């Protein structure tokens, strides 16, 4: 295995219950208030999964483009758009090589996506996002955080280095996860203007006091950055 660059997609066909991945994220939906309702606005869903945000932004009347490394995800997104009578350009592709010209998009979203890579690939992906954003364009997404007592060291995962692991088994089998410190985040987005930053923890079920106190949730940074004019 190349320990410097690993990019793998989810095995969507192995996920029996996809209902949780068909609901768009609330804060992501609220970006509509920042964009307005101009039909000339171009939105790019980088790592679209099975299409929840691609479909949502297409429903708002924007020009929508999307990609995912998984062919299963690309086909699922196209099928959903077709059933909904919506249009968007959906391609298979990697986060490190965006197949669009410079200064094209008003918004790029990458929800729970770009941390599925080694650090060098995250840096490359962010540079690609910067390239395809218009001046003043927004980039919204999430990064996993390297918090004390998080799930990073679970024995079934392959530990690559102190911030990188590769999931073993399940729908994310072979998918790398990079866990960022605050210093990493500021370094990643040094060329952008940081508009908003929120830290969240995601806990696993059951949601009872014993379980919630016995483990730390998965920490995430939610970031909104702007490409300078």
Question: Can you give the CATH number for the domain in which 209 is found?
Answer: 3.40.50.150
Please choose, from the candidates 73, 95, 88, the residue with its C-alpha nearest in 3D space to the C-alpha of residue 18.
Answer: 73
Domains: count for the chain = 1
Whole-number pLDDT of residue 93: 96
Distance CA 134, CA 104 (A): 6
pLDDT digit string, tens, across residues 76-95: 999 999 999 999 999 999 99
Is residue 7, in this structure, part of any structural domain at all? no
Q: For residue 29, say if its preceding peptide bond is cis, omega within 30 degrees of 0.
A: no
Is residue 161, in this structure, part of any structural domain at all? yes
Q: What is the CA radius of gyration of the chain?
A: 17
Q: Give the residue numbers spanning the domain of 187.
A: 12-226
Whole-number pLDDT of residue 155: 62
**Helix (H), strand (E) at residue 33:** helix 32-35
**132: phi then psi, degrees, rounded to nearest 5:** -85, -10
DSSP reduced 3-state for 68: strand
Is residue 139, in this structure, part of any structural domain at all? yes
Is residue 180, in this structure, part of any structural domain at all? yes
Contact at 8 Å (CB) between 80 and 105?
A: no
Contact at 8 Å (CB) between 203 and 217?
A: yes
Whole-number pLDDT of residue 217: 78
Residues of the chain with pLDDT under 70: 1-5, 149, 151-155
Whole-number pLDDT of residue 35: 94
Handedness of CA 114, 116, 117, 118 (dihedral sign): positive
Contact at 8 Å (CB) between 144 and 35?
A: no
Handedness of CA 151, 111, 99, 65 (dihedral sign): positive
Is residue 4, in this structure, part of any structural domain at all? no
Burial class (CB in 10 A: 0-12, 13-18, 19+), 104: middle
Contact at 8 Å (CB) between 25 and 110?
A: no
Is residue 2, in this structure, part of any structural domain at all? no
**Helix (H), strand (E) at residue 140:** strand 133-145
DSSP reduced 3-state for 28: helix
Whole-number pLDDT of residue 4: 64
Distance CA 73, CA 61 (A): 22
Is residue 6, in this structure, part of any structural domain at all? no
Is residue 3, in this structure, part of any structural domain at all? no
Whole-number pLDDT of residue 182: 94
């Amino acid at each position: 295995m190349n320990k410097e660059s690993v990019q793998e997609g989810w095995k969507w066909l192995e996920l029996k219950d996809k209902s949780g991945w068909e609901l768009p994220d609330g804060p992501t939906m609220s970006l509509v208030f920042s964009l307005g309702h101009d039909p000339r606005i171009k939105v790019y869903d980088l790592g679209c999964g099975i299409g929840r945000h691609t479909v949502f932004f297409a429903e708002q009347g924007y020009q929508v483009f999307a990609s995912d490394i998984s062919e299963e995800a690309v086909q699922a997104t196209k099928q959903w758009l077709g059933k909904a009578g919506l249009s968007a350009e959906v391609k298979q592709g990697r986060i490190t090589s965006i197949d669009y010209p410079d200064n094209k998009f008003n918004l790029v979203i990458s929800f729970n996506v770009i941390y599925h890579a080694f650090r060098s690939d995250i840096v490359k992906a962010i540079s690609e996002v910067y390239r395809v954003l218009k001046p003043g364009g927004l980039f919204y997404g999430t990064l996993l955080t390297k918090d004390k007592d998080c799930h990073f060291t679970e024995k079934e995962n392959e530990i690559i280095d102190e911030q990188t692991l590769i999931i073993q088994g399940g729908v994310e089998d072979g998918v790398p996860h990079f866990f960022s410190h605050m210093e990493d985040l500021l370094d990643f987005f040094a060329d952008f203007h940081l508009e908003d930053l929120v830290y969240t923890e995601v806990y696993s079920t059951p949601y009872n006091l014993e379980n919630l106190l016995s483990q730390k949730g998965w920490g995430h940074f939610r970031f909104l950055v702007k490409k300078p004019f």
